[in-house]
Amino acid sequence: MTDAARPTPRIDCRIAAVAHHLPARVWTNQDVIDAHGLRLKDAWVRENIGVRERRWCEPGETTSSLAAEVCSQLLVKTGLTPAHVDRLIVATVSPDVPTPSTACVTQSLFAPEENFPAVDVVAACGGFLYALDYGRRCVQTGDERVLVVAAEIRSAFLNKQDRRTVMLFGDGAAGVLLERTRGDEVGIVDTQVFAEGSHWQAISVPAGGTQRPTSAETLANHEHSITMRDGGSIFERAVDEMAALTQQICAQHGVLIEDVSFFALHQASARIVRRVCELLGVPESKTRVDFETLGNCTAASVPLVLSLAAEAGQVQQGDLVVAVATGGGFTAGAALFRWELP
């Protein structure tokens, strides 16, 4: 057989490190109520929304500064330098500026002397799964090391008088370093991403783009803030889709739900996470419910769950993990992988 005819060896990808960064300032429900003169009660928010506090950034903190901190942590954990990075992918819907990418600004903060590719992925709460899918494919087609980070400052895009959204969202960042597998490692078995764009208006920031350019009217109407239509149907859809996506990716690879050791579920609400667990028939001990203390951190939600679980020892080397999220767009994604970190 000639060299040209020899099959190309399969390249697999693993998570080599995970890290997160949260703003220092904790905002309780009462802090938000007092700061913005809201006619709400802390007890009502806890009972009906399910959150008691969240992290919001202070002036001077940016999405890129959160992402850069995660990148730096990932490199320290693996003993690498920015010179070892082949690519940076940042998932966000709260960019520093409309252009250029937040990834480019992030690169300027933690790797100012390097010139590897840096790009944003915009897929709302499904953003990390989209970025993970992209990063895995990059490793499988030639990159040695890819940083995949999700960072959000959703507090910058909230109408603080909108009782439907002001309590829901938090700020934060988390991510992973992807590398090629070694020896008998399995790493990432599969990533799957989807979109159903006909529902894009259900959760959106209506103004500031070409469809509704910034104007005195859009500013006065708070159209540069997150709007949600029909929260009840969004809840039901998120529950059904996350459960279905989990079942689908497991079934396609011959994995039983009970064989999965940990489920990294998007924290759209505590009720959604618990309802998905009920539908799948898995104990809550196989996931984390951080919504009460972090709120919905959009694209950063899933990697935050992974990083906090790793920090708490909830995932061990050799564990099978499923990560799944749905978000505005509608976007959705799922990943199945074996945890290879000791």
Q: Is the peptide bond before 169 cis (omega within 30 degrees of 0)?
A: no
Q: Give yes or no: 296 in active site.
A: yes
> CB burial class (10 A; 0-12, 13-18, 19+) of residue 341?
middle
> CB burial class (10 A; 0-12, 13-18, 19+) of residue 258?
exposed
Burial 224-254 (b: 16+ CB within 10 A, else e): bbbbeeeeeebeebbbebbbbbbeebbeeee
Q: Give yes or no: 20 in active site.
A: no
The active-site residue, picked from 29, 104, 138, 266, is 266
The active-site residue, picked from 57, 104, 125, 297, is 125
Contacts 24+ apart (CB under 8 A), 238-241: 238/266, 238/268, 238/272, 238/326, 239/272, 239/275, 239/276, 239/279, 240/279, 241/326, 241/332
List, by residue number, the catalytic residues.
125, 266, 296
